[in-house]
Structure 1
């Protein structure tokens, strides 16, 4: 009965919220409910606009926290307000690289034992969530998550390979993008995921060998250049017939695949467990037998590749070619901007960041530290730090992962929730390492229904996701999933016991930057006084909190 006592209102509330959000985005004809009639806006008298010593207000600091972390906490907001954004970024980039260090069972488990296999496959996602919730290196973690959105791996690779892939992204999040491309290409997890480990040229010496184009194609299409040529600001180049100009041809894919042949998993001095057959912690090495690398002369994207070069020499030439291509700056910059700040950046914003990608001020291309700083400090990213100053086109849907972690960090949780029945929890629609394909959870070109605005995350913010947001976390906390996670739900219950207004003030401070819209305040007060959520103050407080966090006022990051 405990679960039912506060789930009675969930179906109706979920239906109203989904209708409201979709109508607001052009997908429905019905009018949204009162709580969804406007995008988030500060309410009179609630916003703390007093600048700290750094010149940053607490409202601005809380807003920045959404862009640089997995969710605002009082400590993070304090640090940002006191240090200022640039100094905080510098401090974050100086932190040591966090790496996953899995227990032995993640690498070596009995594939015929379902319990062991599940434990091994659950560990990487759960550890990623633990680091997202409590890691000090929030900016690196958030950039790593961004990279994982458009350069993913999934359950096609084994759990230990997932761990090593995450470690690769962490090491390169503040490195050089060219170095990252090279390391990505010889990473065992990626080689399994996109089959470059089986990419071999057909020859007289090896007639059974065959090229595999998967990695070569996705390297250009999804990781570096895109399918159409771009101007410096990310806008599409068109021919005289106003049709987009393709970036590469099928011949380019075939030639690039040939240049990327000739790599194998690194040998091991000791026997490898069957669940780490790719030796995932060690980069791939060139094949010993010369015919396994295509040594013919090639032409890729109009650039000649000389004959008789080794696999490492061809790989270096590929990286040089891709890093010199005019598409890579705007292509990568737009994806990072979308993942960190806003789904529909203006061409001017993309162009400014792409210029930094091309040249960090010292003649270096692909400097991720410079690119991330440019994204976060750009005038368009920071304009909304003054309440009401931003445009209606700015912002992004709070994707399931960021909603989940934002809620938990606001609750003070320092570890992920683990259900006694189901094991480690996560956002159902965006569980780490669980994207359906190489395209990730959504395409960066996905648009809001009935609109020309880019809104990729909306693809997975659907009715099932809203229903989950309204009830599942409260149920799991009530059933013991938060045991040992450090969550501070009692503070919400105590506030609710004092008065609904006190709880609303607490929610406003933790999740709404002190700027909860009056409409939402009124609706929460009405719910608190007209709905029965059971006799437990903590449970009732969680229901109202989840309702507030499921509305567009929190669900859209502005």
Structure 2
């Protein structure tokens, strides 16, 4: 399914001009000047599905007016909405009775993803949460307040997702949630009496997952080899050396204790008596003895940040999250070059400029060229969360009670099989290089990362969950969608399916799929006694059939 769903008829509209360089004028401009080349409805919707949570008619018009680059600039300049932390506080979740529960976390996470107008910021925050992984389930031995710790971690990612990646590494490394999840909170120096060594967990994952990866990479993401074998980027000695740096870090309880969640909002504090003050070495570099724990951390992160693997390792994963699971080597190289230098700033800030990297990914010809929708290897499987959010965003789903009772949707058999910040391991819900075995995808030497979450149970569970969500009166959630625009089209199956095809699938449904869905909708009679109910039945059916179609599930 993932390699065959090309979408639509493969026709490029006359206003899209996808095959000519001029068509991508908006992809190279960094100004807010509207593009001189008209952007079709379908092209704008497709862009919004890569860059945000989904498409609405109003947002399509914005993209057409501002151009791709201008829309990105507008989104990046948009102020952040209420933080997850502050929402929890506003609901009284800091009362002592909630100290040892996760109550409120799912609600504040879904509220942001569904309701925030800064959809680009939320999309990048979500992508980063799947690279710099923390799971609320793993926040143990932290004095409680898991909901606040997890909310603060997402708030941190959101606040820094348009900043510099070096700063982000610094902030996650001194974050209470990360310190609990990867077990270095309270990590102490070598004890010669007991033989106890510093915990190596975070040192390992910081290199393996958050920065440079396991093997040396060329700038286009390809693996460096020696005598036919990949060259490892680090070894056990490097982990041991870096682990010494992550000693002496613990909660900052200088102005409060754990009877309130406030300590989770402050960075970790360095306790010198627990810090390993001797020299440390890793990645061929030395951290001298006798310097403070804060300085040792700074120098260590500088070493990691300077590693040549960082740009291709992170750039490729971000491309996979936003655009396509199998980007060309040239695409990765172009984004890596921007990651290494944004072309504007000087010094440290020239590297790791997330605004520049995000623009490079979304405005690249490989992302914007509509001819690529015809390539079997191009595109990505939408994660279950992203499928759900596409519906919620396109039809302005809201929670009248402001309680956002979507809940934990991790159960694959009855819900989405995925839920925000509830990854089953530090390796995320899926591996970026996952290849589904015994498939045409494997035979073509392609990867399909999100298919690691696909099973017989998850396919059925997703459809059943969406059926309940779409209706709004089933399933126990409190979301209400706005179908007023669809009600005007319910008498006309072709118009109804066409509108949903645009908003959810960027008009990528094949003619056969469109005709099948139209026939199904037309078979639902429009009764004179309860015409409004019949219209809603048609809307619900059309939405569900599009949401279940392979051309929607595979984002081209």
TM-score by length of 1: 0.84
Q: Which residue of 1 aligns with 2:489?
A: 495
CA distance in 1, matches of 2:123, 2:419: 15
1:442 to 430, 449, 461: 430
Q: How does 1:82-121 map to 2 (within 5 A)?
A: 82-98=65-81, 99-100=83-84, 101-104=86-89, 105-110=92-97, 121=102
Residue 261 (structure 1) shift: 1.1
Other-structure match for 2:376 = 392
Classify the secondary structure of the residue corresponding to 1:266. Answer: coil
TM-superposed CA distance for 1:523, in Å, is 1.0
Aligned partner of 1:538 in structure 2 is 536
1:149, distance to aligned residue in structure 2 (A): 0.8
- Report 1:391-540 matches (<5 A): 391-415=375-399, 428-449=416-437, 450=439, 451=442, 452-476=445-469, 477-479=471-473, 485-489=479-483, 491-493=485-487, 495-496=489-490, 498-529=491-522, 536-540=534-538
* Matches of 2:518 and 2:40, distance apart in 1: 28
Equivalent residue for 2:118, pick from 132, 137, 141: 137
Q: Quick one: structure 1 residues 389 and 545, their matched pair in 2 at CA, closer, same or farther if it must change by over 3 Å?
A: closer
SS in structure 2 opposite 1:150?
coil
In the superposition, relative to structure 1, how do residues 538 and 48 fare at CA in structure 2: closer, same or farther (>3 Å)?
A: farther
Whether the aligned pair in 2 keeps the contact of 1:71 and 1:407 (CA below 8 Å) is yes
Structure 1 Cα separation of the partners of residues 249 and 400 of structure 2: 38
Offset from partner CA, 1:107-126 (integer Å, 9 cap, x none): 44436xxxx96xx6252332
Q: Tell me, yes or no, if the aligned pair for 1:80 and 1:88 is still in contact at 8 Å.
A: yes
- Partners of 1:188 and 1:54 in 2: CA distance: 48
Shift, 1:203, TM fit? 3.3
Residue 267 of structure 1: aligned partner:
253
Superposition deviation, residue 262 in structure 1: 1.5
Change (3 A) 1:171 1:287: same
Q: What's the offset of the Cα at 1:529?
A: 4.7
SS at match of 1:103: helix
Match in the other structure for 1:40: 7
Aligned equivalent of 2:106, options 122, 125, 129: 125
Offset, 1:60: 1.6
- The answer for the alignment partner of 1:312 in structure 2 is 294
2:208 to 214, 221, 238: 221
- Tell me the alpha carbon deviations over residues 130-150 of structure 1, each in whole angstroms, 9 at most, x when there is no partner: 222221211111110000011
2:198 to 193, 208, 211: 211
- Is 1:159 aligned to residue 147 of structure 2? yes
Out of 42, 46, 54, the position equivalent to 1:63 is: 46
- Judge conservation of contact 2:508–2:552 (CA < 8 Å) in 1: no
Q: CA 1:45 to 1:434, structure 2 compared with 1: closer, same or farther past 3 Å?
A: closer
Q: In the aligned structure 1, how far is the partner of 2:280 from the partner of 2:545?
A: 59
Aligned mates of 1:416, 1:150 — CA distance in 2? 33
Q: Contact 1:61/1:81 (CA < 8 Å) preserved in 2? A: yes
- Name the residue aligned to 1:6: none
Kindly indicate whether the alpha-carbon contact (under 8 Å) linking 1:419 and 1:479 is maintained by their aligned counterparts in 2. Answer: no
Q: Aligned to 1:189, what secondary structure does the other structure show?
A: helix
TM-score (norm. length: structure 2): 0.84
Contact in 2 for aligned 1:41/1:388 (Cα 8 Å): no
Task: Check the 8 A contact 2:405/2:477 in 1, yes or no.
Answer: no
Post-superposition offset of 1:295: 1.4
Corresponding position of 2:269: 285
SS in structure 2 of the partner of residue 299 of structure 1: strand
Distance in 2 (CA, whole Å) between partners of 1:417 and 1:378 is 41
Q: Note if contact 1:399-1:461 (Cα within 8 Å) is conserved in structure 2.
A: no
Whole-angstrom distance in 1 between the partners of 2:148 and 2:404: 24
Query: Given the superposition, is the C-alpha separation of residues 374 and 164 from structure 1 closer, same or farther in structure 2, using an over 3 Å criterion?
Result: same
Higher relative contact order (CA closer than 8 Å, sequence separation 6+): 1
- Runs of 5+ in structure 1 lacking a partner? 1-20, 26-36
Q: Does residue 1:238 correspond to 2:225, yes or no?
A: yes
Q: Deviations over 1:165-184 (max 9, x none)?
A: 01110111011111111111
Matched residue, 2:27: none
